[in-house]
Amino acid sequence: MQIVFLGTSAGRPTKARNVTSIALKLPEPSNGFWLIDCGEGTQHRLLGSKLKLNRLERILITHLHGDHIYGLPGLLTSRSYFDGAGPLQIYGPSGLRAYLESVFEHSGVHLEYELDIIEIAEAGLVAEDERFSVETEELEHRLPSYGYRITELAQQGHLDIAKLTQLGVPPGPLYGRLKNGEDITLENGEVIRSSDVVGASLPGRIITILGDTRPCENAVHLAEGADLLVHEATFAAGMEEKAAAYGHSTVVQAAQIASRAGARKLVLTHFSSRFDDEAVEGLIADAQSIFPASAAAYDYLEILVPRPDTNGRLA
């Protein structure tokens, strides 16, 4: 799994940073990706990456401020021009459907694929399939704003091919049965137990991406034990009063959330346009004084999230 930052500025774009959007690249066999937020210009940022819109499977919208959603209509429209663009799900706060349907109605857009808009009615589990679950909690902002906890489900362990060969198990359907936890009996009557030839299950990864927020308990809950926490850092240390007034966090407050949650790594984003790259370096130093595993996002930064091994260590 890999995170690609497509926009890391707060409120408005700068020459170096576009407004908010994050891509989550999924592991094999999917090789697709999700988007978290879609600020204006997101599809232009995608053109500078290896991500293709026909591989987009799901969009998670944190809240309806323009710097997080104004890129949606154009991106969704352009997706119709990509061969093989299948059904697409969009999750977000109440009002997301009315916003998109109004734009489509008045601009005469007709999508060439199925679009499913799911408005979040309550906190908790909002999506689940055979690979991932997505949980959400409401944060504290000027509009309803959500954070998302994306959990990769544990995967079956690897088959010990060398041992299977030694035991005389022929490749083919028997391998699949063993992989699925079924014991088998060979033609000579020997019983091969799945537990003897399949390794321990592989732990999944947890990625938490928060929308705009003041420091709050729901942020800690969503980030608990996360392999990666992405947290906004609109303001510098010492600007707590201004951050609270606008429903945002400082870099130090974000670091405190990561520390309390026991996250493995913190990546800060959504920097105010008042901060240039040199200033951001100073902000990160402040965060690292509280949570050493802190880093600053910038546009096109790619963060690999390794899978923990069976002992909880990062592989």
Q: Are residues 119 and 246 in the same domain?
A: yes
Same domain as 131, residue 46 = yes
Residues 115 and 23 in one domain: yes
In a domain, 310, yes or no: no
For residue range 108-131, list pLDDT tens digits in order.
999 999 999 999 999 999 999 989
Domain count, the chain: 2
Residue 209 shares a structural domain with residue 184? no
| Parent domain of 38 | 2-155+201-304
What's the whole-model pTM score?
A: 0.87
Annotated binding site: 63, 65, 67-68, 141, 212, 270
CA angle 299, 209, 249 (to 5 degrees): 85
The whole-angstrom distance between residue 49's C-alpha and the CA centroid of its chain comes to 17
Look at residue 70 in the predicted model and tell me its pLDDT. 98
Same domain for 45 and 135, yes or no, is yes
Residue 314 forms part of a structural domain:
no
SS3 167: helix
Rg of the Cα atoms in the chain: 22
Give yes or no: 299 in active site: no
d(CA 154, CA 135): 16
Lowest-confidence region among 64-68, 147-151, 197-201: 197-201
Compute the distance between CA of residue 136 and CA of residue 149 in angstroms, rounded to an integer.
6
Q: Can you say which residues are annotated as belonging to the binding site for Zn(2+)? A: 63, 65, 67-68, 141, 212, 270
Q: What is the pLDDT of residue 242?
A: 96
Over 50: is that where the pLDDT of 315 sits? no
